[in-house]
């Protein structure tokens, strides 16, 4: 058996034995609620949305198609994980290119875990002159290790226990961002 076949079998087994914490139907309903809130607050402001790669890709794709007003989309890539299980120092792979001075910026990401990455991105947008900066995340992980006291996203409809998560944008060692739900490996 090759190394890739072994890895494939390991990743297949991981998902087969994982706990499904949030099924796709609950995610879809949460995205509907989030879209309503965003529309109410920003639908008339011609906002600029930034997808945080790679995790925010799935959430962005599903959320943005629910917004029926003119908006602009760009992406950025800042990470603390770099395919690891624990976060480290912030690393900018791609900085935002669309000018944000005077714009109402919305940052979309998959999860609010400790929040250090999201706080750094928000600070960057504020320093670039954004008129406002709001955050939209799919899920908020419940624990007391947030980067700032009482840190929360402006738009978030799902919460989960403090476990390692994968699926719907979140990965396990670079895999399973495509899983159609939110999962936790057994024992993690």
- The DSSP code sequence of 81-123 is -TTSSS--S-EEEE---S--TT-EEEEEEEEESS-HHHHHHHH
What is the reported pLDDT for 188?
76
The tally of domains found in the chain comes to 1
Rounded to two decimals, the pTM is: 0.90
Burial of 131 (0-12, 13-18, 19+ CB in 10 A): middle
Specify if 79 maps to a domain.
yes
Q: What is the pLDDT of residues 34-90, one digit of tens each?
A: 999 999 999 999 999 999 998 999 999 999 999 999 999 999 998 766 555 555 667
In degrees and rounded to multiples of 5, residue 73 shows phi and psi of: -125, 135
Specify if 139 maps to a domain.
yes
CATH number of the domain to which 144 belongs: 3.40.50.2020
Specify if 183 maps to a domain.
no
Specify if 152 maps to a domain.
yes
Specify if 182 maps to a domain.
no
Specify if 1 maps to a domain.
no
Token readout for 101 is 């001075």
Domain of residue 130 covers 19-168
Specify if 80 maps to a domain.
yes
Specify if 114 maps to a domain.
yes
């Amino acid at each position: 058996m090759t190394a890739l076949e072994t890895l494939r079998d390991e990743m297949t087994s991981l998902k087969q034995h994982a706990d499904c914490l949030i099924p796709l139907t609950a995610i879809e309903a949460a995205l509907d609620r989030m879209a309503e809130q965003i529309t109410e607050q920003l639908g008339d402001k011609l906002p600029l949305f930034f997808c945080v790669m790679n995790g925010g890709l799935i959430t962005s794709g599903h959320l943005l198609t629910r917004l029926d007003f003119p908006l602009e989309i760009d992406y950025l890539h800042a990470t603390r994980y770099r395919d690891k299980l624990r976060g480290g120092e912030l690393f900018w792979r791609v900085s935002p290119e669309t000018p944000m001075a005077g714009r109402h910026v919305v940052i979309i990401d998959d999860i609010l875990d400790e929040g250090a990455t999201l706080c750094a991105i928000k600070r960057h947008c504020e320093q670039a002159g954004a008129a406002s900066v709001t955050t939209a995340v799919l899920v908020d992980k419940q624990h007391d290790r947030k980067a700032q006291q009482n840190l929360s996203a402006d738009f978030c409809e799902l919460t989960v226990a403090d476990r390692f998560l994968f699926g719907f944008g979140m990965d396990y060692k670079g895999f399973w961002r495509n899983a159609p739900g939110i999962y936790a490996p057994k024992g993690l």
